[in-house]
Structure 1
Amino acid sequence: MDKTLSLFQLCDSNFPTGAFSHSFGLESYIQDGAVYDEVTFSKWLEVYLHEQLVYSDGLAASLVYEALEANNLEKIWELDRKITVQNLARETREGSARMGERMVTIAETLYEAPILTLYKKRIKGKQSFGNPAIVFTMVGHFLQVPKETTLLYYLYSTIASLVQNAVRAIPLGQTVGQKIIYTFQSELTRAVKSITNLSEDEFGIVSPGLELSQMQHERLNIRIFMS
């Protein structure tokens, strides 16, 4: 079996991690009237990718991959804590942890990687929080998929989930959603290049506007997403 294709299974928007329940602040922009069609959503998605995802999950995935290469598990547990505590919005922070816990449970049954078993045990024992980017990277490294490809696939999986959520929430047509995913291929490649040029000191440097929208989501009167 092609190991790269095996990793791609985690990119399926139907993979049951609970990502369909989270908009990560998008719903706040929709209710404010700032995002309402293909053009405005694509602009939001571009900002989310390059101003938040690159500096949070993306950089964390890169650093975790390097730590796995060096067999430095303590570094991974440190990154697990950092990516959780630097996430200021409660809903987003808790949602990421739930998604991470769900993903590691499913991934462990599929890939039987010792590192996943250990991570799952730490999460259950309240020693670690859990994060989908870390789980995804563990699987990529276990399957011996190159770091850049692992990063690209993780970013793709996140963007694809957000597009499917936008199709429901704005709403957009399914064809429009697929068009946006296709258009974003070059943006994903550019994001991976950005991540590989970042240092750990830049971890967590995200857009204040996106963080505020994630905090504001807690106070929306009517909503279909958990974050």
Structure 2
Amino acid sequence: MPRQVREASTKMGLRLLEIGAEVFPSAELELYRDLVTTGRAAGHQPLAFAVVARSLGVPLQEALAAYLFATATSLTQNAVRAIPLGQNAGQRVLRKAHDDVAAAVERVAHLTPDDFGAVIPGLEISQMRHERQRARMFMS
């Protein structure tokens, strides 16, 4: 992953752990937050989300669906501002995303550990190029 994406993910992960520990205190969250703050775990945002969900007893499929839909929502919000897409079109995109999220959750159920870490090289190359541009619309 490009440096910019890694750093953003760990900052968001730590913030999520801080909020989670305050709102939903648990021994699991405290332990993981301690590992992150002492540098023994990176604390990337998806992992922090998983620890929060697990500590709350959220079933895996529900946690995956919530995470994926939150990601779709975030990307749609960016598109509404950047394209501009428009609020109504953004809502239509999110409605359509429900079916895609359900399909993705189903697909994840059939993945193996060998699939962990699969990436889209073109996206990562674009992210690395973005990191070095003189002017950017959004900073990660």
Which category describes the TM-score, using the shorter chain as reference length? over 0.9
Give every structure 1 segment of 4 or more consecutive aligned residues whose post-TM-superposition deviation is greater than 3 Å.
Answer: none
* Corresponding residue number in structure 1 for 2:31: 118
The answer to whether 1:166 aligns with 2:79 is yes
Q: What TM-score comes out, normalization by structure 2 length?
A: 0.94
* Corresponding residue number in structure 2 for 1:145: 58
Q: Aligned-residue CA RMSD in angstroms?
A: 1.2
Partners of 1:113 and 1:214 in 2: CA distance: 36
Shift of 1:163: 0.8
Alpha-carbon deviations, 1:68-122, whole Å to 9, x = none? xxxxxxxxxxxxxxxxxxx2x1101111111101110111100002111111111
Partners of 1:143 and 1:101 in 2: CA distance: 18
- AA partner of residue 103 (structure 1): L
Aligned residue pairs, count: 140
Percent identity, please. 41
Partners of 1:154 and 1:160 in 2: CA distance: 10
Partners of 1:182 and 1:138 in 2: CA distance: 27
* Corresponding residue number in structure 2 for 1:181: 94
Unaligned runs of 5+ in 1: 1-86
Structure number with higher relative contact order (C-alpha < 8 Å, ≥ 6 residues apart): 1
Q: What TM-score comes out, normalization by structure 1 length?
A: 0.59
Unaligned runs of 5+ in 2: none
2:123 to 201, 206, 210: 210
The alignment partner of 2:49 has SS state of helix
* Contact 2:17 2:52 (C-alpha < 8 Å) held by counterparts: no
Superposition pairs for residues 35-114 of structure 1, below 5 Å?
Answer: 87=1, 89-114=2-27
Partners of 1:92 and 1:129 in 2: CA distance: 13
